[in-house]
Amino acid sequence: MNKKINVFNNEFINPIIPASGTFGFGYEFSDLYDLNILGSISLKGTTQDARYGNPLPRIAEGRCGVINAIGLQNPGVDKVIKEEIPKLKQVYNGKVLANVGGHSKEEYINVCKAFDSVPEVWGIELNISCPNVKGGGMAFGQDPDIAYDLIKSIRPHVKKPLIVKLSPNVIDITVMAKACEKAGCDGFSLINTLVGMRIDLKRQKPIISVKKGGYSGPAIFPIALKMVYDVYEVTKLPIIGIGGISSANDVIEMMLAGASLVEIGAYNLVNPYACKEIITDLDRVMKELNISDLRNIIGEAH
């Protein structure tokens, strides 16, 4: 059985990638299992300068998921390149996907340019859809004209695959996808989190300090699946499917909808062995479903 995927001018040993923000910078998990079994790793969202993120509390649990308003806490792009990626390289032989956030067009360009020169980075995941960052973030991901202008401005500075992370918090995600493709991106990852909130019944106030945050987990899987299906219908660019994936069956379903790769997000927070167990179980599920090559099922539900 073949789990290899060839996409974005790279060969991945399997389609499984820990999603940005749920796996740190990767090396933190190396004590638990061999990271070299992963298809790749999407690094923690990185900005130009260091960010503390939003004030506490910034996590609220839901019945079938979790709301986070971390606010892109990270040490800044220079430190990620000089310290975090070298630490990861000691325990992981593969290349990584750099996740880039920003408040302004200039910040996005500067961070993308910095990662584009890093040999360990195979592509750039452009986060224009973060719902818990003031200014920038999701604002770029809700207006197709603004997204088009941003990507058009970044494209001349980036030679590596430029993958746009799309927000579900829009009227029609296909409009956003078409605008981004027209601007010159190389593919998409979707979906980012939905906007949600919880209220503390005793205090009668929102639990999260900034009131709202990004909701992720199994509850959003059907929404993510539908949006991957929709985007696949309007573009020939590769898609990384994200949203509520917690089993090998979910991976197959997401690939049938049109994803070439998948990212495992919130489930890493519940079970730190999530990616390892899903990769192991893929063999069983592929045999059960008579799938000899994962490449053959991409988009087969259409």
Cβ-in-10-Å burial (0-12, 13-18, 19+) of 39 comes to buried
State how far the Cα of 189 lies from the Cα of 171, in Å rounded to an integer.
18
One-letter amino acid for residue 282 of the chain: L
SS3 147: helix
Alpha-carbon distances of 99 from 115, 128, 161, 162, rounded to whole Å: 9, 10, 12, 10
Options 112, 130, 185, 275, the catalytic residue: 130
Strands, DSSP E only, in the chain?
5-7, 10-12, 16-18, 59-62, 65-68, 96-100, 121-127, 162-165, 187-190, 194-196, 199-200, 205-206, 213-216, 239-242, 261-264
- 214, 68 Cβ separation under 8 angstroms: yes
Contact 48, 111 (CB under 8 A): yes
User: What tokens appear for 217 in the block?
Assistant: 């987990």
Q: What is the dihedral of CA 226, 227, 231, 233, to 10 degrees?
A: 20
Task: Produce one character per residue of 151-173: b if its CB has 16 or more CB atoms within 10 Å, e if not.
Answer: beebbeebebbbbbbbbbbbeeb
Tokens 């008579």: give the residue: 290
- Cα dist from 268 to 20, 26, 238, whole Å: 11, 11, 24
Q: Residue 227: which residues within 8 A CB-CB, separation 6 or more?
A: 166, 168, 173, 190, 191, 243
Active site (annotated) includes residue 130: yes
Active site residues: 130
